[in-house]
Homo-oligomer: A and B are copies of this chain.
Amino acid sequence: MASKDRILRLKEETRCNILDASLKIVKEGGWDALSMRKIADEIEYTAPIIYEYYSNKGAILLELTRKGFLLLAKQLEEAKAKHRLPAKQLEAMWLAYWDFAFAERELYQVMYGVETSCCEMAKKMPESELPTDLIWDVIVELMLPHVATEDEVCIKYYTFWSVIHGLISINMVNRGNSDETNQEILKLAISGIIKSITG
């Protein structure tokens, strides 16, 4: 029965269409815009049909997450293949990682739990700059007697902030390391940047 095969192929296609439709909706309106009924609209079915292909909404997110990791891995391999020296490879891979995050912004968000909605919220809130200012001032003082430009301090500040916020995020989203490991990474990173300032 070749018709069985045809039907199986159609089913696989619909499974794929659901993922494509989901990603399309998310790219147009963000993760909040994604709903089962909108997906159904997009693939020209009604909502309950989707449950024939994915057990629930979470399973769709999970599948998109998986696709994201595979795509990222592929791009890391390509970046690596362009160089011979490990140092160059490593640099190229992290730059590829960076590019992936913004080229596939929505995938990166679901892969690593980067919130999307609170974007415009934290802005326009003066209190949000309080912690920044406090640390900023100490960095300026640490660089004395050299009078640092805005850009110089900015780079130092964001390097500090990135490594610490990154480590926090990673640990919060998929609690990764042991406490000792975290503390070691933290202290090494902090003292490293401080040394790069004091020379």
A69 touches B130 (CB 8 A): yes
Given A166-B169, A176-B158: A80 and B196 interface contact (C-beta under 8 Å) = no
Assembly of this chain: how many copies? 2
Expressed in whole angstroms, the minimum distance between the Cβ of A144 and any Cβ of chain B is: 8
B69 touches A114 (CB 8 A): no
Q: Which residues of B contact A105 (CB under 8 A)?
A: 172
| Cα–Cα distance between A155 and B109 once the two chains are bound (Å) | 24
Of the residues B66, B168, B175, contact of A98 by C-beta under 8 Å: B168
Q: Which residues of B contact A116 (CB under 8 A)?
A: 113, 172
A162 touches B138 (CB 8 A): no
Additional A-B contacts beyond A61-B121, A161-B166, A163-B166 (4; CB < 8 A): A65-B121, A113-B116, A114-B115, A164-B166
| Cα–Cα distance between A121 and B109 once the two chains are bound (Å) | 13
| Cα–Cα distance between A117 and B62 once the two chains are bound (Å) | 12
B-contacting 9-mer, from A14-22, A45-53, A177-185:
A177-185
Whether, in the assembled complex, A141 has its beta carbon less than 8 Å from a beta carbon of chain B, the answer is: yes
Q: Which residues of B contact A122 (CB under 8 A)?
A: 65, 111-113, 173-174
Whether, in the assembled complex, A154 has its beta carbon less than 8 Å from a beta carbon of chain B, the answer is: yes
Q: Which residues of B contact A58 (CB under 8 A)?
A: 121
Q: Mark A100-128, 1 if CB is under 8 A from B, else 0.
A: 01100100111111111111011101011
B165 touches A112 (CB 8 A): yes
B192 touches A196 (CB 8 A): yes
Q: Mark A68-89, 1 if CB is under 8 A from B, else 0.
A: 0110110011001000001101
Expressed in whole angstroms, the minimum distance between the Cβ of A133 and any Cβ of chain B is: 8
A134 touches B76 (CB 8 A): yes
Q: Which residues of B contact A158 (CB under 8 A)?
A: 167, 170, 176-177, 181, 185
Of the residues B77, B172, B192, contact of A109 by C-beta under 8 Å: B172
Q: Which residues of B contact A135 (CB under 8 A)?
A: 76, 90, 93-94, 97
